[in-house]
Chains A and B, each alone.
Chain A
Amino acid sequence: MKLELRGITKRFGSLVANDSIDLVVEPGEIHALLGENGAGKSTLMNVLYGLYDPDDGEILLDDRPVRFDGPGDAVAAGIGMVHQHFMLVPIFTVAESVALGYEPAGRLGIIDRRTARKRVTEISDRFGFDVDPGAVIEDLPVGVQQRVEIIKALSREAKILILDEPTAVLTPQETDELIEIMRQLKAEGTSIVFITHKLREVRAIADSITVIRRGKVVGEATPDTSETELASLMVGRSVSMAVDKDPAEPGDDGLVISDLTVLDSRNNVVLDHIDLTVRRGEILAVAGVQGNGQTELTETILGLTEPLQGSITLDGKELTGTDVKSRLRAGVGFIPEDRSTSGVISTFTVAENFILDLYDVEPFARAGTLRPQVIQDNARKRAEEYDVRLRDVDDPISTLSGGNQQKVVVAREMSRPLRVLVASQPTRGVDVGSVEFIHKQIVAERDNGTPVLLVSSELDEAMNLGDRIAVMYRGAIVGIVPGDTDRDVLGLMMAGVPLEEAQAQAAVHRTALAAADDQTEEAP
């Protein structure tokens, strides 16, 4: 089926999320929609899927104009969507999730479970998905949940499949499997709209590319366009994709974690005898698919979680057993993984957010009273220093863009004298310009001699910044490798394969993404 969008415009208040966007997706092609976070890709697809009502413009399917009042209409017209945040009910089974909204039912509306299961197994077998229809969604790894979403779309006979940032939560090998699935679907005549901000993936799989910036289409490209060109189209200026940094000059041991074990409230092991040493003046990157214990690791270092056993020492002093405040005072800098829930208080002003952890010490407080003038001056100085774009330091921080909010967090944590920096997903949901800046700051902190523990589920970030990379899988460290280790080896380790075995496997089978890397290296 051919899909055409003409002049789609969608406003949220004064913000124009989509500004008369035109897009044509030919039958049976994989069309990549490339753009930064917040460029308006997801908004556009939500318009197409009937979740948002466009303010202007029209949608044509096979050259006939259509109107969707809700997702139900879009699905009936043959459009399927796999959302970035999966639209699955955690406590339902796979069969129930696929059936929801289109349930095969008999008398009294009692669901025919056998038919529901059969629907799943038929599609699952056809594409070799290996999904158990009786499994409960919340027990499944994200990669499998994504397949459930694809089965859901296919069971409704989707002719056009929208994949919104589908690789964000996958290991490189799972990404490779997804690419294989996309090729199979294409071979069966399904058109695919593939939304992403990852240039490498676009070049590996797309037939044609549309680049969006600030709600507007800024260009079309073909898969043989170089990554640098795509990046500058996407960002609007030339960007350096790699991080400039000198080789690390590691000194003494800074943060030493040994035999650290943490159980959750249901006695499941979330951290499994972790041993890590971060030396002064190096960045240790912790790579791994989200949800393999990274969150618990950083929270245990900060003191939000008490370990069952093990020790955490900073410059030889034991941290376990002390409270969060004394750890902060001891020089632990902490950039939390979720800015909105634990990085900033969105209704507080920018100035207040700059001193969230220093509110009760000189010079910001004296005799139990805050000193607004000092706090504002501090905010202006830091905003200048860290290039935070704002109107007024007394505005609520929620008026800032994600990237600028994150810079406030980074500035706050780095403005104290640090003995260790724990940065968890420091560039999540941040525009490319800010990513560059934050990366530079982290490297600068390293060059000052601070040990840095960087947790990132973006393998590119871990590889770019890490002097050494520790790979986590199911709460344990699979291995610690040098920063320049091969992408495929890391990918396999992220799925729990030990180092030697990963090297052996990677030598035999190259993933599509690594293959794209190889080509770039051969023919620059």
Chain B
Amino acid sequence: MDPLKSIAQIAASGMHAQSTRLQIVAENVANADSTGNTPGADPYRRKTITFEEVLDEEAGVTMVKVGEIGKDDKPFTLRHDPSHPAADENGFVKVSNVSPILEMANMREASRSYEANMNLYEAGRKMRSEMIDLLK
């Protein structure tokens, strides 16, 4: 297959994977304050994402895809809030294990990686269009 054409395909798979990662980050950030509704209920558990390589047999190129969207096993923290509907008999509410700093770092990385893939896509497109311009 035309390498310049496959660059577009590969970079597009990277961009897709990174946008899924950003989606997970957004879900984590949005749900950082989600708690249970019944006494002692579990709050939102942070989601994790992994990537894996995938070989396109037909085009003979290695691309990336989202491997698994899992759950973070980190224990929940407790907050003293007796009036909360999810408070247990001692007045403690379980708070989700989302760490805003970690999510921010993750967001930055996803955004930078998306940008890198975008630049590759653009470079491939430009090279291809310059090659076609030779026909003129």
Question: A and B, one complex?
Answer: no
